[in-house]
Amino acid sequence: MQWFSNFRSVKYILIAVAAIIAAASLLVSHSLVKKLRAEEEKKMEIWAEAMNSLNRADANTDLALVLTVLNGNTTIPVVVTDSDGAINLHRNIELKSGTDSLAVLMQMVADMRLRNQIIRVDLGTGENSDYLEVCYSESLILKQLAYYPYVQLIVVLLFFAICFVAILSSKRAEQNRVWVGLSKETAHQLGTPISSLMAWTTVLKEKYPTDELLPEMERDVARLQRVAERFSKIGSLPEPTSEDIVEVIDRAVEYVKRRSPAQVTYTMNYPKRPLLVRMNAPLIEWVVENLCKNAVDAMDGKGDIYVSVSQNSDRAFVEISDTGKGIPKSKHKRVFEPGYTTKKRGWGLGLSLAKRIVEQYHKGRIYVKQSAPGKGTTFRLELKK
């Protein structure tokens, strides 16, 4: 369908826009973090110079200014060590009670040295003079700012995913309502002419009791009645009954077989009867008929169709294979999407409705078991016994 194709295009556009916004956000945040890191490095250089001035202080040194600079650092963690590696002081580092504070500080100093976050302050002029090392790391605010874009990105992606799922669910619900309404209206519209046809066949039987065409007309009218019944059941949960699945499958295949070209050969492989399955027989018949008709179309009216029924301890399996064009592996799941079709004529709803009937109404499975271009296709149904 056109709207579904348009929705897919809009979906990809939204994903692309979201990716661009996310990339732009990360680049801007990275740029800001880089600038703030440079600012903190400059502050630590000034702080280290103030420490140097404090150690070299004389009568002319403005200690008030020096102490103001030193005390002005309230955010950047810093540890000062001497030339022997001993810790002289530390600032803006919260040490938990009950821990080895010295060991924690020494580990922090080792990490700061690995990141080259050290400023050396010489205390003398000689080659072997004492010195201090001002070791620092990023402030808590800078660390939070570095991680914030990623957290923000995750939140935005989650929000986008929730919105996307909600929109998709709304579209599917709307689509389902349209299908259900269309199906029920079709069943309703078929009811009157079918009743009229049934009455006319009764009249004709009374008038021409030996006519050879009347039994065939009756079968076609009964067929129309079953089709209308199937359409009326779409959108409601039909009551399942225990049915012999072999009989149901055989009836559906025989119907399509009689209307298939002579060049199409059918081969059936059924187990011993009965094989009872809880199901709604008219709907499962419709699924099998749809798969067989698709197989005939895929072979352009010439080839072989294989239908087999098997079972295990709790499930019955129906496989329908053809020798047609095949389906690329990338499209094995897409064939069940509403609107997907390779035919020039058709709405692409057959397999979508078949999936709904099997999986939602009967709690079973329907999928492409195997297929490849030029090698035919095998569809598999799984139903609970």
**Residue 7 scores a pLDDT above 60:** no
pLDDT of res. 263? 93
Residue type, 269: N
Residues 212-238 have pLDDT tens digits of 888 888 888 887 887 777 677 666 666
Average pLDDT over residues 292-317: 91
pLDDT of res. 8? 61
**Residue 148 scores a pLDDT above 50:** yes
pLDDT of res. 196? 86
| Residue listed under structure tokens 């003398």 | 124
Average pLDDT over residues 350-371: 88
**What pTM did the predictor assign?**
0.52
The winner for highest mean pLDDT among 190-199, 284-293, 332-341 is 284-293
- Farthest CA pair distance, the chain: 135
Pairing of strands 303-311, 264-269: parallel
pLDDT of res. 136? 92
Residue type, 120: R
Residue bearing the bigger pLDDT, 116 or 272:
116
Residues 29-60 have pLDDT tens digits of 888 888 998 999 999 999 988 888 888 777 77
Residues 77-86 have pLDDT tens digits of 999 998 888 8
pLDDT of res. 174? 74
Mean pLDDT, the chain, integer: 84
Query: 281-298 and 245-258 helices cross at what angle (nearest 10)?
Result: 40
pLDDT of res. 1? 47
Cis status, amide bond into 215, omega within 30 of 0: no
Which of 341-346's residues contact partners 24+ apart within 8 Å by CB, and which partners? 343/297
**Contacts for 231 with CB less than 8 Å, ≥ 6 apart:** 183, 184, 186, 187, 190
**Residue 378 scores a pLDDT above 90:** yes
**Residue 149 scores a pLDDT above 70:** yes
Residues 82-109 have pLDDT tens digits of 888 888 888 888 888 878 888 889 999 9
**Residue 2 scores a pLDDT above 50:** no
Q: Give the dihedral sign, CA 350/355/356/361.
A: positive
The domain ranges of the chain are 2-138, 165-236, 239-384
Confidence of residue 339 (pLDDT cuts 50, 70, 90): low
**What is the fold, at CATH topology level, of the domain defined by 239-384?**
Heat Shock Protein 90 (3.30.565)
pLDDT of res. 248? 92
**Residue 6 scores a pLDDT above 60:** no
**Contacts for 120 with CB less than 8 Å, ≥ 6 apart:** 131, 132, 133, 134
**Residue 318 scores a pLDDT above 90:** yes
**17 SS3 class:** helix
- The phi and psi torsions of 276 (rounded to 5 degrees) equal -80, 135
Cα separation, 82 vs 63, whole angstroms? 22
pLDDT of res. 307? 95
